[in-house]
Structure 1
């Protein structure tokens, strides 16, 4: 065994024991992200099993955690754009749910929950104000990168709780990429991005028990070398992670998952998202990737 010192959100490094054999050399690529500060974050309604309006929520702490996440991306060399938070939209911080961008084409969102519906138009206007003209707002319910995950080859598309399965065909037509439909079955993992994330080209991590038997078979065929997450990995929203091809930004509690990705040659980078998790969100939920 060899000890690997990783970046943690608090004082001092987090040390993991990783087997000594050489892993593949991973090369990061610079990314561009769109984020929204949680200036109005709270939990005042419940639209997923994580949300409990009776629990205390600190907007100040959520803001500190979000700022640390943003600064982590910038320290890793990524470009972060921001959109102005709007009063009355406490979940707007979860920008990943409001757009899917592939090759400069933008497919907007249509939320299932009426409490979030107004978010979609704010993001639509952001794209238009920033020079995007190929912006399509969907006819079918589609919660964007919450349920759409671009691998570089396929658009993995989740359904079962939020996104209408008909939105998968709509995404294929608008974005012009092949779509693979996946059925989610566990209400705790109501979006694809809390059950699966892309590490690098043709390599994903996922929690099998979040998916139907047929979808698990599809994932095994497409990604036979995938990192398989445990129940504990999923339960701390460890799979709501962001990879740039080398660095993997994930919740500080996801130590087992971090060990697994480190064995594959990636560098885990821990962040604390405990307050944002009260609304069922983590690093990826706060991060829309803009792929021009």
Structure 2
């Protein structure tokens, strides 16, 4: 059924990885504090709720088997970027996550993806690449190398727009910007996460974007996933709920509070497998 303003959900295929081995024993972003204990059964339950919600909305969820010793594999969005069935692998900035890249590539090879590019330059998958109808938006400043942007453009054959992140809390693009309708270049973002020049670019490309408040951004409300109608986002970002409804979306509030301890939420846990 279409939503308000004629919005429609389109079926998606996602790749997720259970937090069976999730823990915070090191700190590679401002959200991670090894002194705060992680409740693994609760993290698994919250993750399963997200997975099951996708399926209840008609989407397909593939599961990547978690590997012991790789606690951040739950953040499956970081493992690759898939556009037009082509797989751009990841190259992680920190040694703690390096082995995740090969785990993802193993999955794609086993599932008959034949256009796979192992990157030369650091990129952390959909953490810093967001796909709209017209562009691949690409974050830089804390993780991804600017050189990865040209690499992505050559591989995908789509224009890549570089955006500079300046606030360490928003170390990946997917913590500061979410694609709401990838068929219509519709996004929401938090301006304070970006440099002045990048804010100007976003204003030019997306003049009708939903602008998030600092409070909702700080709740990782922009770490969201949309199917064109339903927008799954952290429940603490309550200030985004009414603005999304006013635009014809159906917000779906999710509790991923345990996974927030590692610096991620809905989008971090969700890699989209675009055909």
Give 1:244's aligned residue.
Answer: 227
Deviation at 1:29, TM superposition (A): 0.3
Give 2:143's aligned residue.
Answer: 162
Give 2:76's aligned residue.
Answer: 95
Give 1:192's aligned residue.
Answer: 173
Tell me whether 1:227 sits opposite 2:210 in the alignment: yes
Q: Say which SS state the counterpart of residue 257 (structure 2) adopts.
A: coil
Specify which of 122, 129, 148 is matched with residue 148 of structure 1.
129
TM-score (norm 1): 0.92
Q: Structure 1: where are the runs of 5+ without partners? A: 1-21
Correspondences of 1:175-190 after superposition (within 5 Å): 175-190=156-171
Tell me whether 1:112 sits opposite 2:80 in the alignment: no
Deviation at 1:176, TM superposition (A): 1.1
Give 1:138's aligned residue.
Answer: 119
Give 1:5's aligned residue.
Answer: none
Give 2:236's aligned residue.
Answer: 253
Give 1:46's aligned residue.
Answer: 27
Alpha-carbon separation, structure 1, partners of 2:269 and 2:13: 13
Alpha-carbon separation, structure 2, partners of 1:23 and 1:83: 35
Name whichever structure is richer in helix by fraction.
Answer: 2
Give 2:102's aligned residue.
Answer: 121
Q: Say which SS state the counterpart of residue 10 (structure 2) adopts.
A: coil
Alpha-carbon separation, structure 2, partners of 1:62 and 1:137: 31
Q: Structure 2: where are the runs of 5+ without partners? A: none
Q: Say which SS state the counterpart of residue 74 (structure 2) adopts.
A: coil
Deviation at 1:146, TM superposition (A): 0.0
TM-score (norm 2): 0.97
Deviation at 1:259, TM superposition (A): 1.2
Paired residues, what number?
271
Q: CA RMSD in A?
A: 0.9
Specify which of 234, 251, 261 is matched with residue 278 of structure 1.
261
Deviation at 1:23, TM superposition (A): 5.4
